[in-house]
Structure 1
């Protein structure tokens, strides 16, 4: 080892014993730094997890509040219709007056749907479209084109581009056009 020490001293380096002692002294300081850094990261992780959990809870509450608001807004449109149905049931008028009242209520209901962006699916006279129509039956005829909607059994509705329910219809079967 003397030869190594002599070589290091000649090169201007510290002896091996002195370097090892310096490493031993520096190591506890570095370990403490790493422990402090680790503790800081663990604390940061715990805070981020708590923050994310709070965000998730807040987002779920906002979603419920928004749904309740949307439902309340839609229901508000139908309350006058409900009032008019109740008035119609209390009326003592003739059958014709009752029918006229119900027709007015129907128009009011259609207006409420319109304000909510709900539109009826086109049916009678349109070509049958399985995406928006549901065929309940067919009628053999030579007066109408094949697969033309002849009768609406139940009205279908959509809101913007989304189909809420298909229209139930009866369609024409024209064997003369099918064979051509």
Structure 2
């Protein structure tokens, strides 16, 4: 009788163990859920999602590196091109002015030849005046403007005083009495001070 009871208890225990194992498997299966909207569940695609996110970040990093390298190359090309253009500009800065003065140079050479053969002083003077007027007109066209200094108040920002002499009258004290060398503007910017004599 005791042996039968022992066998029954053993069968019951085995069935209980099997039932417990089955319940554990079902519980584990129930805890795995593919629905991302359910919080606190273990998702089947968690590992796949992490790998996908990593791949996405790697692609973005590669694209950013590519854009950066392109920008660096473009900037380097721009810098080289800009340096080349600046050198060319410096080398040819006076080209336009020189070209405009070539006509005046041609006229000067013709006037010089005429002076060697002609004895008519009036004609020679007229030729020289024509060349001089053409030179002035060419330079004025390029933006050169002569400064008016004589009889104006002395201005250290515009004038360079060579000497001071007694003023002929009270009105000329502190003013420019004579101009030794004229000053010039280029496009309204001072490029040479006027050398003057000031009354005291």
Superposed pair shares fold, TM > 0.5: yes
Q: CA deviation at 1:70?
A: 5.5
The equivalent of 2:139 in structure 1 is: 113
The equivalent of 2:99 in structure 1 is: 76
User: Structure 2 length as normaliser, TM-score?
Assistant: 0.68
CA separation of 1:34 and 1:99: change in aligned 2, threshold 3 A: same
After superposition, the C-alpha distances for 1:63-94 in whole angstroms (9 at most, x for unaligned) are: 55566676332222211111122223333145
> Which ranges in structure 2 are unaligned for 5 or more consecutive residues?
1-23, 32-37
After superposition, the C-alpha distances for 1:32-82 in whole angstroms (9 at most, x for unaligned) are: 111111001100111112222233334444455566676332222211111
Larger Rg: 2
The equivalent of 2:175 in structure 1 is: 148
1:126 aligns with 2:152: yes
User: Structure 1 length as normaliser, TM-score?
Assistant: 0.74
Secondary structure of the residue aligned to 2:94 is helix
- RMSD over aligned Cα atoms: 3.0
1:23 to 31, 46, 52: 46
After superposition, the C-alpha distances for 1:128-175 in whole angstroms (9 at most, x for unaligned) are: 1111111111111233511211211111110232101111111111xx
The equivalent of 1:137 in structure 2 is: 163
1:170 aligns with 2:197: yes
Whether the aligned pair in 1 keeps the contact of 2:151 and 2:172 (CA below 8 Å) is no
How many residue pairs align between the two structures? 164
CA separation of 1:99 and 1:154: change in aligned 2, threshold 3 A: farther
Which structure has the higher relative contact order (CA within 8 Å, separation 6+)? 1
CA separation of 1:172 and 1:25: change in aligned 2, threshold 3 A: same
